[in-house]
Structure 1
Amino acid sequence: MAKAVYIFLLLGLCITLFSCATYIKETGKASYYAGKFIGRKTANGETFRKRKLTAASKTLPFGTRVKVTNLSNGRSVKVRINDRGPFVKGRIIDLSWKAAKRIDMLNAGVVPVQLKYKKTK
Structure 2
Amino acid sequence: MSMFLFLKVHAQKERTEKDESKLRTKSGLATYYHKRFEGRKTTSGQKYRGDKLTAAHRTLPFGTIVTVTNLSNGKTINVEVNDRGPYTKRYIIDVSESAAKYLGIYGKGHSKVEISYDPS
TM-score normalised by the shorter chain: which range applies?
Answer: 0.7 to 0.9
Partner of 1:57: 57
Partner of 2:18: 20
Change (3 A) 1:108 1:119: same
Q: Which residues in structure 2 correspond to 1:25-40 (within 5 Å)?
A: 25-40=25-40
Q: Which one-letter code corresponds to 2:66 in the other structure?
A: V
Partner of 2:78: 78
Change (3 A) 1:25 1:36: same
Cα drift, residue 34 of structure 1? 3.0
Instruction: Report the Cα distance in structure 2 between the residues aligned to 1:78 and 1:16, rounded to whole angstroms.
Output: 22
Partner of 1:99: 99
Instruction: Report the Cα distance in structure 2 between the residues aligned to 1:15 and 1:119, rounded to whole angstroms.
Output: 21
Q: Higher Cα Rg: structure 1 or 2? A: 1
Q: Which runs of 5+ in 1 are unaligned?
A: 1-7
> What's the CA shift string for 1:12-61, capped at 9, x where partnerless?
7x986664230011100000003221111111000110000000000111
Q: Which runs of 5+ in 2 are unaligned?
A: 1-6
Q: Which one-letter code corresponds to 1:49 in the other structure?
A: R
Please state whether the residue corresponding to 1:67 is helix, strand or coil: strand
Cα drift, residue 88 of structure 1? 1.7
Q: RMSD of the alignment, in Å?
A: 1.8
Please state whether the residue corresponding to 1:31 is helix, strand or coil: strand
Equivalences, count: 109
Asked whether 1:119 is paired with 2:119, we answer yes
> What's the CA shift string for 1:73-116, capped at 9, x where partnerless?
11111100000000122100000000000101112111000001
Instruction: Calculate the TM-score normalised by the size of structure 2.
Output: 0.83
Partner of 2:3: none
Identity %: 43
